Amino acid sequence: MESLRPHLADQLVLKDLLRSTYPPNKDKSLDEDEDKSNQADG
């Protein structure tokens, strides 16, 4: 079990980094922009 702890800690750190780099609000706005561009291309 101890060998798994560092891996879990790394996952938590990665999640924190992703949250700080890509907040949920920004992700939603980016998704909407992509949808609009896709519709325009189609």
pLDDT value of position 9: 82
pLDDT value of position 26: 57
CA distances (Å), 14 to each of 7, 19, 27, 41, in order? Answer: 11, 9, 17, 34
The whole-angstrom separation of Cα 9 and Cα 19 is 15
Domain residue spans of the chain? 4-41
**Three-state secondary structure of the chain:** CCCHHHHHHHHHHHHHHHHHHCCHHHHHHHHHHHHHHHHHHC
pLDDT value of position 38: 62
What is the residue-level pLDDT of the chain in tens, covering all 42 positions?
567 677 888 888 888 888 777 666 655 555 566 666 666 655
pLDDT value of position 24: 65
Output the six-digit token pair for 5. 């702890």
